[in-house]
Structure 1
Amino acid sequence: MTPSPALDTEAAEAPAFPDPRSAVCPFDPSPELRDLARLGPVSRVRSWGESTPWVVTSHAEQKTLLSDPRLSAQFTHPNYPSPVDPRHAGGVRPDMSFVAMDDPDHARLRRMVSGVFTVKRIEAMRPVVQRIVDDFLDRMLAGPNPADLVKSFALPIPSLVISELLGVPYEDHEFFQVNSKTIVSTVADAGQRQEAYTQLSAYLDDLVGKKIGAPADDLLSKLAERVGTGELTRGQAAAMGVLLLLGGHETTANMITLGTLLLLEHPEQLAVVRDTDDPAVVAGAVEELLRYLSIVHLGRRRTAVEDIEIAGKTIRAGDGVILLGELANRDPEVFPSPDTFDITRDARHHQAFGAGTHHCVGQPLARMELQVIYPTLFRRIPTLRAATGTDRIPFKYDAVIYGVHELPVTW
């Protein structure tokens, strides 16, 4: 189909896709990103080379499109709007299992793991997570002061939790943490990302093979059983393991540190989280932290497989689409005074975990971990504070999952 002259003009005049964050306000979307919202809920941007994908900035339109089967999550479409420069090393992208699939294949594979992440099963893990959190706080308090909250607390806790859930030996945590960090990096080239994915996939493939011969009570063993029945190949099971291992520790670790830093900058709200005996208050605070921080950094990326009419625009089949959750979560139509951090607001409609069929399968686990971690951290260390100014903290402007590389704290 030949594009209309209006569409040609809109693409030709599209602004460059901006950096999502600015050092001026590291907790907020960048001023340039906010400018996109002022163009309307759906507009064009210029991305890598001559690519001009659509960006969707409003909460309502994002919720609609994330549930629309005419948008494909597959990375292999020619105009897929890559978050990193696809021209590096031929644009190689790792296959991230069902995250990069459409239904029915997506739904079939997702069902194989979703039962492990039900709210009931995750709640049964809460005492275990509480013990893990207390143990790492004991270690941190017995160690050097100042300490790096990332290395001593935020990264090891979700790594250990997801390792035990999957059946991955925690003693290998440095290996999977280093490779995970490369996979989500925007400054590593595609060859480095592919190599990191290959190493992690081979590691998980070997573990699946071991589980086939000696199953245990863990998720990888359940996937290995599916390999035995012919429902999965070992490669598919390994890819699912990579996805869950990466998603299970990288995102939560960044939320722990970024949320801690934000609460330290709002001591009155920190005191509420620390002192309350009401689980609902803590749960509400976690939802507001998820809304306000929106750590999925470069948007959820899709390709239209059919024409879609939305917000007065026509997204043509083959067009790339970027859905900016950090702007949906600051939409004043849904969240009054959206730039105000307020743990008393009802933030449950945020899209930090996405929406539609691809919403994050592990969100009950992430919520529960954060609900345990924030109040425990501040009760156990009531004098906790950052050991350096915010302007000296290395934020992750170089990754698709936002956070900080390190957070020096003292008490």
Structure 2
Amino acid sequence: MSHGVAFPLAFLGPFLGPFIIFMGHFAYLLPFYFTLNALILGNRQEAEWIMRSALLKSMVISGVAEIFWSTLCWQLSHRSCGILTLAAAFLQSLQMFCAFFGPYDALGAFALQCATQLLMIPVAQIGAQHTLKQGISPARYKIIAWLLSVVLAIVLLLFPNLVCFWLVLPCVVLPYTMLGILLTARSFPTATKPQSASKTSSGASNGVSAVSATAAAGFGVLGLLSGTIGEALTDSATTLALRSELKAGNSELALANHVTVLSSMSLAFWTQSKSERSTQKQVLCMLLWAGCQVFRIAALPYLGKQDTGQSRFVALAAMVFLDKYTGPLGSASLDSALLAVLYHGRCNKGLPETVLWTMRTAVARMERPICQLIMLHASLDVETLSLIFTFMTSVGVLAVLQLYDGRTKVD
């Protein structure tokens, strides 16, 4: 490798974990904020429906596969992960070509999406291990991914005539390509060889800590059964309302949504940077998040109105601003509570904490796809269900933060 390339890669080396978390979340958000909307604006509405359905289903499949992978405690070298990421970039380019030019069917779309996400599972494990080592929520890296996704979405809506294959392709493929080059072109310390969960549960050989059965049960109730499902239900209802407007040729509502998200997420990034190590501020963030969810649920019916007044725009702007400001803060508080449960539940023998954290991150990615899949094919009492899950999450997080006082940093 030339010295001109080696220098920036050496500089990025210490930030590999955060960069993987950022790129992974950006690749997760990009289809919903950019790619699917690009297909609608490019008069490829049938392809958009096929891709949306394939994307949602493949996220569920890959989430289950990621949990299985972490349970076996398999790890690959960074170079191997880089090769897999470059392969995922190729599959995404093939996906875009088929979506714009055909042939594009449901089975082929699902196969390409599923293969892409399965290839990225070993890469995501590097980010998970970084989070557990630091003991701090990765929310700030995810917020940066949100901001970049929203900027691309705004550009798309402001200049719909520019939508074409050659604009969409680099935006979709570049995240995978950059990460793949970073992982393959620089020799980082290699991971251990694949081992079974029984050999690593004590954490002596590869740094994986074990968690007691009681702590694992508490983690499961708060992080898996409750999580942010309440927020996901409301988000899915809002997303489908915006999708209907965009398909009808009305982009004003979607544009107002993205501009509001950009401003609120910028404020959320600043707030999160100031509160990630303070238990009192995390408690306040969780209370704000819970209050915001109640407001969003009350305002949700206004999005379905067909009047030409300003009530829909006002309701959307208020919902989105409060959600995208308090949403990342609430998620960060949830992360802090879950990391506290893992940290204080460590023991000599038990379930590896990487398995539990991977299950949480996988479930978090599956929450919105599952909610959207159900709502696309069936009617739900979104308001009631969202209130129930919001109450469960907020009470659980507040109880954990008060119990452990937010001490999650690993010594």
- Confirm or deny a common fold (TM above 0.5): no
Q: Normalised by the size of structure 2, how large is the TM-score? A: 0.29
Which structure carries more helix by proportion?
2
Q: Normalised by the size of structure 1, how large is the TM-score? A: 0.29
